[in-house]
Structure 1
Amino acid sequence: MRVSSYRKNIPLLYAVEWFSFFGITTFWVLFLSQKGMSLLEIGLLESIFHGTSLLSEIPSGMLADRFSYKANLILGRLAAIVSSMLMLLAQGNFWLYALAMVVNAWAYNFDSGTSSAMLYDSAVDAGLKERYLTFSSIISGVTEATMSLGAVLAGFFVHGYLEVTYLMMIACSLCAICLIALLKEPDRKTYTEERVSFSSIVNTVLKEFKTNSALLWWFLIGQIVCATMCMFYFYYQNHLPDLSSWQIAFLMLVGSGLNIGAAYVASQVGKKWSSFQLFPWIVGLTGLLYTAVVANQVLVFMFIYLLSNALYALYMPIISNDIQQYLPNSIRATMLSINAMFFSLSMIVLFPLTGWCIERLGFTPTFLALGSILVLSAFLLVFFLAGIQRKLTKN
């Protein structure tokens, strides 16, 4: 009966993911612009989001390890509701938008690492550990689908009705909270939560990185490269207003199909090759796609946008599965939060730096340079990751 309860967690987590990450507020940059925010102010708000995320990642993961996964997930959805309300109430007030970004970062932090840690522990307690990669690929597919389909729907509200998207996000978050309440806390989590203190979590994390420095380097280098691979996704959105609403919706719909397909393929590819073997290829192919900007054609830009996103979607479930195997149960959420923290740190530096380069050099030269860097990085990663894998296996 207990095993059956943990089995039910898996489809419930899929549903929670659907409502938690429904991409209806995808066009928040356009929303802020329509409310009178300048591009500089919007850039500052993005930095506030990532700065808050950087500072809050580890504490949020520690809360999940110290108390419960369910509590963290509920706090994340409550933060999403508050953030959406602030976005609606601000009406052009920069500081209220800044507060909304802070709270929105907390919504992300409380979920980051927690849902994947709960999925892994639920699979273990249900006797389905060997199927975790499949579950992780499915939940990645759900995430890609819900974000993309939400973006498709949001495309029909871009002409003055984006406030509706935040009301829809509030409704989705309330649905997610109801589903989270039905989850059963994993057995291993319930067993340890009374005896694990914050200080022991910190000590365990420090000891883990001291004795296993390869894990730290894997987190750091991997997230810097992943952040670089996301730059086209963010900055191409500045070109979306050149398309009509139906073209934007169609682009998002095609992207959704590709990303869902990539997540499915990941469950098959990940059984044959590890992330250590695949990552250099993913990075190299993304770099080659970036260099295609030299064509300076609308259709080529759309092609790069779709395929670079699909490659990223293919890689995420595989790296998630590999990382889980090297993490201690007692600090699983904390370690995953540290990994996500490195992504935020990378974004704080790379996002404004890329924007500055685009303003100074232009869109095409900037991504031609980034593509060249990624291609070179792919060759270096072959040797770096081989050494990391040997050290992790040895430890």
Structure 2
Amino acid sequence: MISSLESGKRNIRLLFFQTFFGNAYFDRAIFMLYLIDKGYSMLEVGLLQSLVNLAMFVCEIPGGMFADRYGRKNSLIIGRTLIILHFLGMIFSTNFTMFAITFILLGIGVTFISGSEEALLYDSAKHAKEEALYSRYAGRYMAIITLVLSLAMVIGGLISKFTWNWVFVASILFQLAAMLVSFFLKEISFEENSQKPHRLLFIIKDSIRLLKVNVHVRSLVIGISLYIGMFSIYYLFAQQLFKEIGYSTYIISVIFAVVSLLSALVSDKAHLLEKRYLPQGVMLTSVLLSGIIFLTVFFESKILSLTAFVLLNLIYFVFSPISNSLVNFEIPSQQRATLLSTISFLSSAVMFVLAPIMGYTSELFGTHKFISLAGIGSMVLVWLCLVHFFKNYFSKTADSFEPN
């Protein structure tokens, strides 16, 4: 019989495999170009992307609650199923309405996965008595995501030169593999982590109370959400940004792949920066540098655009695992998936608002200017939220949340 310690370590290994297969999105760097190739305008593409974000906005917190109530493993399996349906829709959709349904399925599927993977990874590390190593595991988790994305994007770009359908077929096959691995995960029950009854009403009540009582946690959640939302919009519309300045579809996929590979290397070593400069030093510096780099995006230059894309990705993959570790440390286990989903919920709200605006303004003024101004404004707000968090974090540690 596998011991509790070994089952936690086994879970971590399986989660890494599941993450590898589940993030092979072969269309990630080129799906907007696929839709444009189908005859849709940038405004319509922006609206489709906003439907993904709307679905995430509506379903993110319920998805996290589902994971907290019925298990992260079940949540992952449902999420993979919905994403497979999305890729089937990308192949067979013939009009805007069908594509709209397809993108809504993607948004709902992502909500069942986001928060669940990180929460199960953290609880598995805790189960294995390796909670102190979570920053390293989070960095490795992000590195695996970016590594497989880099490979998938290059392959997807190559496949698209011959046929678009096989780009989505390849994605389906990898999602099926991720689902298969998910069946072997061990659910970390809350009876093992807490004496609290695991009821949906309790999860909702304590999650809301946590955000009300812990002002510094609320500032952290809002700041991270805004940072993720802005970066995600930039990452998605970078496809069109590069297209506007003359790069081909295949070259764009290669750019995304190489940057993802570099990001994987950086993410895996992010915990070393955290150890040397502490979370507050790394996170605040990351936001400051991001704001400066967004300023350079305003100028429609191939060199500046490419340099900005590389640097913003590297900074994001330093910021992300460190902020993820900090949030997990601040959140009790029973609300972990719910409140991680709250971050995704708020990020989706940012993307929902910005995506159609981005699509519309891209056709009028070009993509660069709006991304630059939105990026600078967002980084100012993120900076203020994080400064508020760290100020309260160090001066009011006695106010940490204690469940009834």
Whether the TM-score (by the shorter chain) exceeds 0.5 is yes
Task: Give the distance between the partners of 2:361 and 2:97, measured in 1 at CA.
Answer: 27
Judge conservation of contact 2:47–2:356 (CA < 8 Å) in 1: no
Aligned to 1:100: 102
Q: Which residue of 2 aligns with 1:387?
A: 391
In structure 2, what is the Cα distance between the partners aligned to 1:343 and 1:376? 16
In 1, Cα distance between the equivalents of 2:335 and 2:264? 30
| 2:193/2:333 contact within 8 Å kept | no
Aligned residues: 394
Alpha-carbon distance between aligned partners in 2 of 1:377 and 1:213, rounded to the nearest angstrom: 16
Name the structure, 1 or 2, with higher relative contact order (CA <8 Å, separation 6+): 2
User: Aligned AA for 1:234?
Assistant: L
Task: Say if 1:294 and 1:99 are closer, same or farther in 2 by CA, change over 3 A.
Answer: closer
Deviation string for 1:98-153 (max 9, x for gaps)? Answer: 11111111211111100111011111111111111111110010011112221111
- Structure 2 equivalent of residue 233 of structure 1: 235
User: 2:197 & 2:381 partners in 1: Cα distance?
Assistant: 43
For the pair 1:346 / 2:350, whether they are aligned, the reply is yes
Deviates more, 1:350-359 or 1:209-218: 350-359
Q: Is the 1:23–1:149 contact (alpha carbons within 8 Å) kept by the matching residues of 2? A: no
**What is the aligned partner in structure 2 of residue 42 from structure 1?**
45
Q: How many angstroms apart in 1 are the aligned matches of 2:230 and 2:360?
A: 15
Give the root-mean-square deviation of aligned CA atoms.
2.4
Supply the AA of the counterpart residue of 2:38: K
Question: Which piece of structure 1 moves more, 354-363 or 269-278?
Answer: 354-363
Aligned residue identity for 1:349: V
Whole-Å separation in 2 of the counterparts to 1:83 and 1:392: 46
Question: Would the aligned equivalents of 1:86 and 1:96 in 2 still touch at CA under 8 Å?
Answer: yes
Are residues 49 and 232 of structure 1, via their aligned partners in 2, closer, same or farther at CA, if it must alter by over 3 Å?
closer
SS in 1 for 2:26: helix
- 1:238: how far off? 0.8
Q: Say which SS state the counterpart of residue 184 (structure 1) adopts.
A: coil
Structure 2 counterpart SS, 1:262? helix
Q: Secondary structure at the match of 1:44?
A: helix
1:367–1:98: structure 2 CA closer, same or farther, 3 Å change rule?
closer
- Deviation of 1:382 after TM superposition, in Å, equals 6.3
Matches within 5 A, 1:1-395: 1-26=3-28, 27-90=30-93, 92-159=94-161, 161-188=163-190, 195-241=197-243, 242-244=246-248, 247-293=251-297, 295-370=299-374, 372-373=376-377, 376-377=380-381, 380=384, 383-390=387-394, 393-395=397-399
How many angstroms apart in 2 are the aligned matches of 1:80 and 1:375? Answer: 31
> Cα distance 1:199–1:248, how it changes in 2: closer, same or farther (>3 A)?
same
For 2:290, give the aligned amino acid.
T
Secondary structure, aligned partner of 2:5: helix
Equivalents in 2 of 1:264, 1:309: separation in Å? 14
Deviation at 1:196, TM superposition (A): 1.6
SS in structure 1 at match of 2:269: helix
| Aligned AA (2:136) | T
Q: Distance in 2 between matches of 1:34 and 1:11?
A: 40
Do the aligned partners of 1:288 and 1:371 also contact (CA within 8 Å) in 2? no
- The verdict on how the C-alpha distance between 1:376 and 1:130 changes in structure 2, with shifts beyond 3 A counting, is closer
Structure 2 vs 1, CA of residues 258 and 286 (structure 1 numbering), >3 Å: closer, same or farther?
Answer: same
What does the per-residue CA deviation read over 1:75-107, in whole Å, with 9 as the maximum and x for residues that have no partner?
Answer: 1111111111122121x2211111111111121
Cα separation, 2, equivalents of 1:349 and 1:293: 20
Taking only the aligned residue pairs, the percentage that are identical comes to 24
The 3-state SS of whatever aligns with 2:238 is helix
Letter in 1 for 2:223: I
Report the CA distance between 1:160 and its aligned residue. 5.3
Q: Compute the displacement of 1:374 (Å).
A: 5.5
Query: What does residue 402 of structure 2 align with?
Result: none
Which deviates the most, 45-54 or 244-253?
244-253
Q: Which amino acid aligns with 1:270?
A: E
Output the CA distance in 2 between the equivalents of 1:193 and 1:80: 35
| Residues in 1 aligned to 2:183 and 2:377: alpha-carbon distance in whole angstroms | 46
Instruction: Return 5+ residue gaps in structure 2 as ranges.
Output: 400-404
Worse-superposed segment, 318-327 or 350-359:
350-359
1:270 is paired with a residue whose SS is helix
In structure 2, how many angstroms separate the alpha carbons of the residues matched to 1:294 and 1:208? 40
